[in-house]
C-alpha cells in the first residue's frame, strides 16, 4: 500500500464519517428534533470540478497501469463526494435548546436579532457574526418563525 493509497483511504474514511455523522448522529444529539428544514445547496460547480479531477486521476491511473486498489479508492472517494454534493441536503435542525446550522450547535440565547431579507434569506445575528440561512422552500420560513416564537 503506497502513501497515495493511504491518503485516499484516509480522505474517503473522513468524508464517509462526516456523512454518517451528518445524517444519523447529529439528529439524535441535544434532544428531540422539533423541526427539520432543508437548505439550498451551494457550490455545485466546486463539486463537479472535484469529481472531474478524480475522474482524470482515475483515467491516468488506468493508463499508467496503476494498482487496482488505487482505482477502487478513487471511485469510492468520488462516490462519497457525489453523495455529499448532490444527494444529501444541507439542513437546519431545531432542538429544544438550540439549533444546528452547518454542523454547529447554536443555543437560542446567542441570537441577538432575526431579520428576513427581501430575497428570502433569514439572517440570525449572533454575538460576533451573522448566519445567512437560505431555505429551499419559502413555506419553511413560517415554520421557523413558529418554532422561534415558541422558544422565546
pLDDT in tens, the chain (152 residues): 889 999 999 999 999 999 999 999 998 888 899 889 999 888 789 999 999 999 999 999 999 998 999 999 999 999 999 999 999 989 999 999 889 998 889 998 898 988 888 888 889 899 889 989 999 888 888 888 888 888 76
**Closest to 30 (Cα-Cα) out of 103, 122, 111:** 103
- Three-state secondary structure call for residue 37: strand
List of residues 6+ apart from 89 with CB closer than 8 A? 38, 39, 41, 136
pTM of the model: 0.82
Count the alpha carbons within 13 Å of 139 in the hemisphere toward its beta carbon.
0
Amino acid at each position: 500500500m503506497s502513501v497515495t493509497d493511504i491518503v485516499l483511504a484516509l480522505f474517503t474514511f473522513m468524508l464517509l464519517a462526516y456523512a454518517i455523522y451528518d445524517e444519523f448522529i447529529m439528529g439524535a444529539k441535544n434532544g428531540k428534533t422539533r423541526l427539520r428544514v432543508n437548505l439550498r445547496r451551494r457550490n455545485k460547480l466546486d463539486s463537479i470540478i472535484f469529481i472531474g479531477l478524480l475522474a482524470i486521476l482515475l483515467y491516468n491511473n488506468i493508463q499508467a497501469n496503476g494498482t487496482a486498489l488505487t482505482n477502487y479508492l478513487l471511485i469510492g472517494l468520488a462516490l462519497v463526494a457525489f453523495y455529499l454534493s448532490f444527494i444529501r441536503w444541507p439542513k437546519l435542525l431545531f432542538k429544544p435548546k438550540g439549533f444546528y446550522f452547518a454542523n454547529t450547535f447554536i443555543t437560542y440565547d446567542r441570537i441577538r436579532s432575526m431579520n428576513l431579507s427581501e430575497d428570502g434569506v433569514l439572517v440570525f445575528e449572533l454575538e460576533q457574526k451573522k448566519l445567512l440561512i437560505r431555505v429551499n422552500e419559502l413555506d419553511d420560513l413560517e415554520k421557523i418563525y413558529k418554532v422561534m416564537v415558541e422558544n422565546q
